[in-house]
Structure 1
Amino acid sequence: MNQGKDCPGMKKQTIFTPLRKKPFRTLFTAQVFSDTGNWFDIIALNLLVSYHWGMDIIANAAIDLAVAVPWVFLGPLLGVWADRLPRKQVMLICTLMRIGVVIGFIFAPNLPVLLALVFAKTVFAVMFDPARQGLFRQVVPEEELAEATALSQTCANATKIIGPAIGGLLMAIVAPKFVFMTEAVLYGIALLFLLRLPNVQPSAEEVKTEKNFWRELKEGIAHISKKRILVVAISLAALNLFFVFLYDAFYAPLTIALNLGQIGYGLVVSSFGIGAVAGSLIAGQWTSWKGNPLRMMCWSLLLAGAMVVVIGLGGMNIVHGSIVFWCAVCLIVGALGAGTSVPFGYLLQSETPPELMGRVFSVSNAMQGVMLLAAPMIGVAFGRAYGIGAVFAFSGVMLALTAIVYLIYTKKTNVRPTVS
């Protein structure tokens, strides 16, 4: 697709080009505050039940479960409503309700009430995100879709670092209620920007379609099944997530095995996050992968798998390196992760019409959520039997093998995007 590189008088597109248009700029700014709020209480809630309430790890696991279950079991159902209802209004209501839920955290007297509130907050997030994806599809021009997707992914990756870090820091110096009050303020700022969004009119397809809940749900699933490139991309993303979450909870014991200490743990985790942000920026600035996003996903996954094997060998005391070396390896893995997520997000957007975006996005999230529920427990069993290093090494090998299988398959079947 011509991006203006060869046309005199036209400015070269960059990752920031979509921000020139006010609707996307407003939506993106709302995402910054909303995403930060989403991640703000991750550490705070776990510190609350562990340190302030003195509960064991079962309470922490219960919080994780309360977050994961709605994505898996309610996501596809709520995705129908996200497509059916006016998207701006859905986002406004969900954000307003999350403000109320977060304020409820302050007054939660015990774990059952807290879990119910966490569950409710996640339900509103499950409704909010498909609506945002659908509106995103409507306000971003086709020729800027890759750059806008990369910028949105950069925001998601950055807030995963910034949100928990600030929330955890505040938790260490002030009472928990101030953390949750700050989170409510973040959602409040997001709400102000959402109010400024234009009222985007539904497409002709959305208007003329007769409303029937179960038929609408089947339409989203049918769209994926008919689009081979979406089936391949979603299954690849789900497998990627499964093998990543086999080891994702083991960074702390890994740094012990690598003799890096507590400071090393912070640096390693930060390196993954910084790499993900940098990778998203690079993917958005260099978009020649649009011609074959699946190939980009596979090669990124293959190289990331190789790096994860190196990390695993370090945990097995076979490969040795300084803190600088391990941070560099983790930085590369984070950047390569973005090399998978940005093309995947672009494929979901470019291969799905706006009227189906919420349903397709929700079904994709549900499939990945199943992996999120299954992988950690398998990783724990594997780690206890063979050691932390072996979990990383096995995951890396499987990531690389998965990438090779999909590379061969996509080459033989010539799976290509509709728009390139």
Structure 2
Amino acid sequence: MKKQTIFTPLKQRSFRTLFSAQVFSDTGNWFDIIALNLLVAYHWKMDIIANAAIDLAVAVPWVFLGPLLGVWADRLPRKPVMLICTLLRIAVVIGFIFAPNLPVLLALVFAKTVFSVLFDPARQGLFRQVVPEAELAEATALSQMCSNATKILGPTIGGLLMAVASPTYVFVTEAILYGIALIFLLRLPNVKLATVEGKQEEKNFWRELKEGIQHVRKKRIMMVAITLAALNLFFVFLYDAFFAPLTLALQLGQVGYGLIVSSFGIGAVAGALLSGQWTWWKRNPLHMMCFALLFGGSMVVVIGLGGMGIINGSIAFWCVVCLLVGALGAGNAVPFGYILQSETPPELMGRVFSVSNAMQGVMLLSAPMLGVALGRWLGIGAVFAFSGVMLVLTAIAFLIYMKKRDVRPTQPAPVEGIS
């Protein structure tokens, strides 16, 4: 029997089409992040409050509307939901071109995010249906690799285009990306959920929402994984906005800042690639999450000590450290995605994914404010060091808890040989 690699799922036509749509859709999602902030700061000459308002318009729908829209993502046929959401995002992005002021722009950003909040759980549910169980880990890693890559390439290309052209070109390009995603979505098969047919009349909206929440609460491995992922995100976002001042503290300059950020991104892509190539962690993905957190947190402590002037290193040294942090971050994210997919029946996937995103969104909203307060009080390096220590302690605490409670996957996956 031929051994599987991270690219094995692409042999499945349905997954290959869905993955292609994800590449262009995810790139579109991130394409305007820098452009929108540059628009309000440089073109409209507004202060930092406008930039914070844009971030808020992006974050709020994930937290407060995600679980509600997750119900509709499970209720409605997934392919039409994805098609309609993509069409509406194209319309919103074109609307960016004609936005006359900040309130209108914020309303459009909010609307675009709402459509993404509905699109993503529908995509995750369809992902669960078209990927064979034996290839779930590889497909999850490939999807995560795409997500990591587009988070880097999307804003970078959008920002560069913004620097040499007007905002109109950025938004037109983004609309084209969504248009290409739409073409791939049209080629997807119409996959029905036979398990929920005939039951819709017996349910109501709030009962269906409760089903998704209860699935997370009743499955200990799900609750542990989502809590671990949320805490990881919280401690990461304590320092995530401080890389520019960190490079000043490390005396690396503007070129160093670019290299540091690129190292994180390259590490994240490489980590997802390796996690999908060697899937021995499938027997207990929670252990992989914890150990990635443990070693990743240790590297963040090293970065913090550098920012405090305790450790000195060349730019090559800091790039290697950041590369490892990025790779270990993917080593946490891929097993988490695998747990969500493997421990959730397809008919609940939208709701469970949305509940998970909402829990992580709360962390995303609260952590930066605390990070700013800690940074002003203790200094930038201390924020990194504190975050790293907390990541390490979180990993150790969860490893102890899992051993005591014997938290394991419902059905441990067979492990293929190393390819």
TM-score higher than 0.5 here?
A: yes
Please indicate the TM-score interval, normalised by the length of the shorter structure. over 0.9
**Correspondence 1:108-127 to 2 at 5 A:** 108-127=99-118
1:398 to 390, 394, 398: 390
- Residue in structure 2 matched with residue 148 of structure 1 by the alignment: 139
- Residue in structure 2 matched with residue 167 of structure 1 by the alignment: 158
Q: Are 1:295 and 2:296 counterparts?
A: no
1:158 to 127, 149, 156: 149
Q: Match of 1:67, SS?
A: helix
- Residue in structure 2 matched with residue 261 of structure 1 by the alignment: 253
Structure 1 residues without counterparts, runs of 5 or longer = 1-9
Q: Match of 2:294, SS?
A: helix
- Any conservation in 2 of the 1:138–1:354 contact (CA below 8 Å)? yes
Distance 1:286 1:336, change over 3 A: same
1:239 to 213, 231, 239: 231
Amino acid at match of 1:289: W
Give the fraction of aligned pairs with identical amino acids, expressed as a percent: 82
Q: Are 1:41 and 2:20 counterparts?
A: no
- Residue in structure 2 matched with residue 337 of structure 1 by the alignment: 329
- Any conservation in 2 of the 1:203–1:355 contact (CA below 8 Å)? no
Paired with 1:387 and 1:399, the residues of 2 have a C-alpha distance of: 19
- Residue in structure 2 matched with residue 78 of structure 1 by the alignment: 69
- Residue in structure 1 matched with residue 44 of structure 2 by the alignment: 53
1:411 to 396, 399, 403: 403
Instruction: Give aligned pairs, total.
Output: 411
2:349 to 357, 365, 376: 357
Paired with 1:282 and 1:145, the residues of 2 have a C-alpha distance of: 15
Please state how far the C-alpha of 1:206 moved relative to its aligned partner: 4.6
1:182 to 173, 182, 198: 173
- Residue in structure 2 matched with residue 306 of structure 1 by the alignment: 298
- Residue in structure 1 matched with residue 265 of structure 2 by the alignment: 273
- Residue in structure 1 matched with residue 417 of structure 2 by the alignment: none
Paired with 2:144 and 2:85, the residues of 1 have a C-alpha distance of: 21
2:185 to 177, 194, 197: 194
Paired with 1:391 and 1:348, the residues of 2 have a C-alpha distance of: 31
Paired with 2:199 and 2:32, the residues of 1 have a C-alpha distance of: 42
Paired with 2:194 and 2:329, the residues of 1 have a C-alpha distance of: 34
Paired with 2:334 and 2:196, the residues of 1 have a C-alpha distance of: 28
**Correspondence 1:90-129 to 2 at 5 A:** 90-129=81-120
Paired with 1:206 and 1:25, the residues of 2 have a C-alpha distance of: 27
Paired with 2:372 and 2:157, the residues of 1 have a C-alpha distance of: 29
Paired with 1:206 and 1:190, the residues of 2 have a C-alpha distance of: 29
- Any conservation in 1 of the 2:268–2:326 contact (CA below 8 Å)? yes
Paired with 2:96 and 2:349, the residues of 1 have a C-alpha distance of: 32
Amino acid at match of 2:195: A
Please state how far the C-alpha of 1:412 moved relative to its aligned partner: 1.5
Amino acid at match of 1:295: H
Q: Match of 1:14, SS?
A: coil
- Any conservation in 2 of the 1:206–1:355 contact (CA below 8 Å)? no
- Any conservation in 2 of the 1:105–1:117 contact (CA below 8 Å)? yes
Amino acid at match of 1:397: V
Paired with 2:331 and 2:19, the residues of 1 have a C-alpha distance of: 21
- Residue in structure 1 matched with residue 358 of structure 2 by the alignment: 366
Paired with 2:109 and 2:192, the residues of 1 have a C-alpha distance of: 33
Range with greater deviation from structure 2 (208-217 or 137-146) = 208-217
Amino acid at match of 2:95: G
- Residue in structure 2 matched with residue 137 of structure 1 by the alignment: 128
Paired with 2:21 and 2:355, the residues of 1 have a C-alpha distance of: 24
Paired with 1:139 and 1:207, the residues of 2 have a C-alpha distance of: 22
Amino acid at match of 1:297: M
Amino acid at match of 1:164: P
- Residue in structure 1 matched with residue 416 of structure 2 by the alignment: none
Range with greater deviation from structure 2 (207-216 or 339-348) = 207-216
TM-score, reference length from structure 2: 0.97
Amino acid at match of 2:60: V
- Residue in structure 2 matched with residue 376 of structure 1 by the alignment: 368
Please state how far the C-alpha of 1:203 moved relative to its aligned partner: 2.6
Please state how far the C-alpha of 1:207 moved relative to its aligned partner: 3.9
Q: Are 1:16 and 2:2 counterparts?
A: no
Q: Deviations over 1:268-295 (max 9, x none)?
A: 0110010000000000000010000000
Paired with 1:206 and 1:153, the residues of 2 have a C-alpha distance of: 31
Distance 1:328 1:244, change over 3 A: same
Q: Match of 2:196, SS?
A: helix
Paired with 2:102 and 2:258, the residues of 1 have a C-alpha distance of: 28
Paired with 1:226 and 1:211, the residues of 2 have a C-alpha distance of: 20
- Residue in structure 2 matched with residue 7 of structure 1 by the alignment: none
Paired with 2:197 and 2:138, the residues of 1 have a C-alpha distance of: 26
Q: Deviations over 1:358-391 (max 9, x none)?
A: 0000000000000000000000000000100000
Paired with 1:359 and 1:257, the residues of 2 have a C-alpha distance of: 43
Paired with 1:349 and 1:321, the residues of 2 have a C-alpha distance of: 41
- Any conservation in 2 of the 1:297–1:344 contact (CA below 8 Å)? yes
- Residue in structure 2 matched with residue 3 of structure 1 by the alignment: none
Paired with 2:306 and 2:49, the residues of 1 have a C-alpha distance of: 30
